[in-house]
Amino acid sequence: MSKIVIAIDGYSSCGKSTVAKALASHLGYAYADSGAMYRCITLYAIRKGVIKDHSFIEDEIIKLLPEINLRFEFNPQTKSSDTYLNEENVEKEIRQMIVSENVSKVSAIHDVRVKMIAIQRELGKDKGIVVDGRDIGTNVFPNAELKLFMTADPNIRAKRRYNELKAKGQNVSLGDIRTNLDQRDYEDTHRKENPLVQAKDAIVLDNSELTREQQLQFILNIIQELTLSTT
């Protein structure tokens, strides 16, 4: 089968990155976590003092963009890709709650999206890539051969996020996480710049009751059917 672009969109904390990484590893494809890219911008702005008390001036964020370089590198220990911000591995730092609480607003800035989309399209120009995010199938790669839209029950999503952060030693509450998810869902679906919507030709994957292995097999079955239909 010729290499394709696989676009995975969906709500926050649906496990998009987890299944995308597993899929890329299984297929021998490159992987790009668009959400991590926006988190890097947010983290950098926080470090620079541009984001304070959950507020910022857009122009100040835009001024930082030329200073930011992003890339993904395969980690042989975790067998997945780590995110690098200006040559620093920030895979753990970008998952902090302070970043989660600000990333949706940062990702809504036009100039930020233009820069990130340009990077994503460059990464996918030769195909053979799995990309996950909010507008991958609708805007970044509208002609992707396979589009998936992931969703799950909000309470299950919150619990998964809570367990993930607690395992990393972060002191968080389940209630705060659910509030954050609800806020991010609203901001992602209502923002002016390429809001989160399901592409018309996307296949829905509700993983509320599915294991990671079942999700991966679900997608691999789709790819097999896609292969058979194009041969």
Mean pLDDT of 141-167: 94
CATH fold group of domain 5-221:
Rossmann fold (3.40.50)
Region of poorest pLDDT, from 26-35, 75-84, 135-144: 75-84
Question: Could you give the CA distance from residue 100 to residue 230 in angstroms, rounded to a whole number?
Answer: 40
Residue 86 has φ and ψ, to the nearest 5°, of 50, 45
pLDDT at 231: 52
Please report the DSSP string for the chain in residue order: ----EEEEEE-TTSSHHHHHHHHHHHHT-EEEEHHHHHHHHHHHHHHTT-SBTTB--HHHHHHHGGG--EEEEEETTTTEEEEEETTEE-TTGGGSHHHHHHHHHHHT-HHHHHHHHHHHHHHTTT--EEEEESSIIIII-TT-SEEEEEE--HHHHHHHHHHHHHHTT----HHHHHHHHHHHHHHHHH-SSS-----TTPEEEE-TT--HHHHHHHHHHHHHHHHHHT-
Report residue 52 as tokens. Answer: 């304070």
Question: Could you give the CA distance from residue 135 to residue 163 in angstroms, rounded to a whole number?
Answer: 27
Measured over all CA atoms, what is the biggest interatomic distance in the chain, rounded to whole angstroms?
55
Q: pLDDT tens digits, residue range 65-124? A: 999 999 888 777 777 778 999 999 999 999 998 999 999 899 989 999 999 999 999 989
> 154: which strand partners?
none
Question: Could you give the CA distance from residue 202 to residue 149 in angstroms, rounded to a whole number?
Answer: 6
For residue 70, which of 113, 110, 32, 25 has the smallest C-alpha distance? 32
Question: Could you give the CA distance from residue 109 to residue 46 in angstroms, rounded to a whole number?
Answer: 16
Q: pLDDT tens digits, residue range 165-217? A: 898 888 889 999 999 999 999 999 998 888 999 999 999 999 999 999 999 99
- Beta carbons of 150 and 205 less than 8 angstroms apart: yes
pLDDT at 111: 96
What value does the CA radius of gyration of the chain take, rounded to a whole number of Å? 17
Does this model's pTM top 0.85? My answer is no
- Domain extents for the chain? 5-221
